[in-house]
Every structure is written in structure tokens, then in C-alpha cells.
Homo-oligomer: A and B are copies of this chain.
Amino acid sequence: MNVRFSSPPLSSDRGSAPSPPPGQTPGEVLALISSGAAVTRAEIARRTGLARSTVSLRVDALIAHGFVDEDTEAPSTGGRPPRRLSLRTHGHAIAGVDIGASHCRVGLLDIGGALLAAREDPLNIADGPEAVLGHVERTLHTLLETADGTASRTLRAIGVGVPGPVEFSTGRPVDPPIMPGWHQYPIPEFFEERFGVRALIDNDVNVMALAEQRLAFSDTLHLLYLKVGTGIGCGIVADGRIHRGAQGSAGDIGHIRVGERDEPCRCGNSGCLEAIAGGAALADRLRELGLEAAGSLDIVQLVREGNREAVRMVREAGRAVGEVLSGLVNFFNPETVVVGGALAAVHDQLLAGVREAVYRRSNPLATHVLRIEPSRIGENGGRSAPASWRSSTPCPPHRSTAPS
């Protein structure tokens, strides 16, 4: 074979991902402004690699559409002083809905993610979609009509988190174990028909994971959100995006086998993480000891009171969670693990056990820079979802020509 070496197509951009190389996606500019990462046109140009002229064009469009305001001038850095840009928080509103097994939180946010108004009600998800969503609809209308704010606001989008697997592309729950009657219910259409805006539905842990990653741990590309409450679940952010897996059931770690104990589980197997460390299981065992504990919140209460049995139990639950997590850390190699859910309210005790198990068993290379931290966003995570979705699902700005 007569071989020639090709002319050098060598270049050093061994890019990590097939993401658009310099120009990035539309919405990128808005994300930079809203996150405060770049607040002047020149700064945006430097960060994105776009030409200054292009940035001006895009920013003008954002201003024309009312998404961005041009503020006063910023201090000069040696030349002409830049004009500062900021997200126009008034004028628009976004609804965030967090539906849990037994509660329902509805929030109204501005497009910066700040909570304008919120309401929480007890609610049984087993009452079915019509009842639950009807309640959400009424609550949302109430919030829209009664919330403070002199400026008129336009509802732009609705984000909903539900406690079960969701086929994200259609927004329909698929065989959700604790949501009887919701299988394949068209939640997006429900809201889109009634409010005329896009509605996005997702699993609650996915929502929380994304919210933590976008709003609190934005330096992190690979993150796990562990929810330790009545049950145990996990949201996965891989390369900055939610990993849902083939059937959308990824992150269902509650029934991974752990340790030697053969605790029977409602799933039919035994030794499941949830049966050993879930809030329901812990409450069961505390009751066997003669203590009053109906659910996760009672456990938190007992731990806060310093009850030794409860503390020991939570700590041991942490170790069980940590043992499973140590495997997942080896497998997935995240940068950050965020622990949330009802039991994270006592994260001193819970995380001690988790860290102990993870650092004992995981690959040192993987744990070297690993952070295991309590949720920074807390209960508002579910409602904050839209603010994080915003940056992943770009708004439709600057497409049409002239707005007004």
C-alpha cells in the first residue's frame, strides 16, 4: 500500500462535546444577563465569543421584547463606560408547581426566579388528576389575581414537578407507583388549554436536581440530587442535562439492595434501600420501640429533640444511603451530591452517615473533589424549577422582527 500522510488537519480543539463551538445557542445571551455572569454588551461578547455587533443585535432584540432593561451606566474601566444590562423582572411571571404525595405548592416567580407569591396546601395525590390539577388551577388563578405588584404581569410558562416517572417529551406520567389514576394523563394540555402558555412536566427529583445545579451549584456539570424522605429517589444531572434513561425511570434508587439486612419492602423484594433507610421504614421501626412517629416529619422532630434512638436510626440510615451512593459515585463520578428531602432537615446526622460510607468505600480519585452537601434551595426547589428550565429551554425571543 502506498501511503501518504494527509495534510495536517490538526487542530487543538479536542472538544469535549458536540456543542456549538463558539457561538452557543440563542438564549445564551439572556442566560448570561440573568445569571449576572455578564452584564454589559462588551462582557457578553468576550464571554460568548460573538462579535460585538452580533451581541448588540441580540441585546437590542431582548430589550425590544421586554426581557432586558438597560440601566444606568456602570463605572468606566479606562474607556467609555459600559451600559449595564439587567433582567426585566417585572412584566412577566412564571408559575412553579410542586406536587407531592400529600401536599401541593404553587408559586409565582418573576423570570429571575424570585418568588412573588406562593401557597401550600395539603392534598392527596391519590385523588386523581382532575381533583388535584383543578385545585392547582384555582390556586394559580387566586395567586395571579391577588398577589401584590403594581405592574401588570404576563404569565409566560408553567413548570410542574410530580412524584413519579414522567415521559418528558409528552409530559405524561408513566406507571407512577404512588399516583393512581395519573398514568398517561395529559398534564401539559390541561394547563395549556386553561392558561394558554407552555407547560413543562417532570419528575420532582429531576426538577430539584436541575434547580440545584442551575441555581446553586452552577460550577458543577455532573450532579446527583438525593431525595431522602418517605421514599428515596435520585435526580441525575449529567453534563448539565437531566438524564432520564430509556423509560424515564432513571434515578429510581430506592430499591437497590443494601447491606445484610433482609427488611421486606413494599416492592416485593427485600433489603431495599427504601425499606432500610426510607422515612416510612424508620417511622415503622420507631413505633415498634414505642415512640410516636407517623412519618418523616415526626422523625425530624424526634431527632431535634435529641432522642437517641431516632438519632442513631437516622445516622444508620445515612450509612445505608451512603453505601448505595458509594457505588453510584464510582459508577457516575459526579462532582456534587446534593441531599434533600424531608430527612435532610436533620442533615447533620444524615450526612455524617452518608459521608462516612462514601469516603470509606468509593474510589479516592472520584471522592477527591466530591462534595456531599445539603440542599441549598430547600423546599422552594420544586417551585424554582421554571427558572432553571428557562436556561435549558430557551425562551422564544428575538425571532419576529419588531414587537411594538
Measured CB to CB, the residues of A under 8 A from B are 1-11, 14-18, 20, 25, 93, 144-149, 151-156, 165, 168-171, 174-175, 188, 192, 195-198, 200, 221-222, 234, 236, 238-239, 241, 243-253, 255-257, 260, 269, 323-324, 326-328, 330-335, 360-361, 363, 365-366, 368-370, 392-394, 396
Contacts and interface: CB of A to CB of B under 8 A. Distances in A.
B1 A252 contact: no
A247 B368 contact: yes
B392 A18 contact: yes
Nearest 8 A/B pairs, CB to CB:
A245-B333, A2-B152, A250-B333, A246-B335, A256-B327, A3-B144, A6-B154, A1-B149
A112 B169 CA distance: 34
A305 B139 CA distance: 71
A216 to B, nearest CB: 17
Given A5-B197, A18-B392, A330 B148 contact: no
Copies of this chain present in the complex amount to: 2
A148 B22 CA distance: 43
A251 B363 CA distance: 11
B14 A200 contact: yes
A156 to B, nearest CB: 6
Given A246-B333, A247-B365, A168 B260 contact: no
Contacts of A155: 3-6
A198 B9 contact: yes
A169 B200 CA distance: 34
Given A10-B196, A10-B198, A4 B253 contact: no
Nearest to A269: B361
A252 B329 CA distance: 9
Nearest to A197: B6
Given A253-B331, A257-B323, A257-B361, 13 more contacts: A1-B145, A1-B147, A5-B154, A5-B197, A6-B154, A6-B156, A8-B196, A16-B168, A18-B25, A246-B366, A253-B327, A269-B361, A327-B328
Contacts of A366: 245-247, 249, 252
